[in-house]
Amino acid sequence: MSFKPWNVVRDEKIIKGLQGLTWADYLLTIDLYKKGRIKINPLITHIMSLEKINEACMLAEKKEAIKVVLKP
């Protein structure tokens, strides 16, 4: 898929990515998390600033992370 980045900014588009799951799967997961039925913190291996997005991608690509959370 290709797109023009400026159009994303100008039109205030939101880009969402999913990897092998449906949006309904994500909504179910959020619901289960809110109800305390699943714990996600053990899956988060790295919390990084948005400025370190390239480093975060490399960790994921090299399979050195389970889940990386990026904070603004």
pLDDT digits (tens, 9 = 90+) for 14-39: 877 767 778 888 899 899 999 999 98
Give the Cα separation of 69 and 40 in Å (integer).
Answer: 12
The residue-averaged pLDDT of 43-60 equals 93
Identify the helix (H) or strand (E) that includes residue 69: strand 67-71
Give pLDDT, residue 28.
Answer: 92
Pairwise pLDDT comparison (55 vs 6), residue with the higher score: 55
Domain that holds residue 60: 5-71
What is the spatial distance between Cα 28 and Cα 25, in angstroms, rounded to a whole number? 5
C-beta neighbour count of 68 within 10 angstroms: 19
pLDDT value at residue 32:
93
pTM: 0.51
Q: What is the DSSP letter of 38?
A: S
- If one counts the domains in the chain, the total is 1
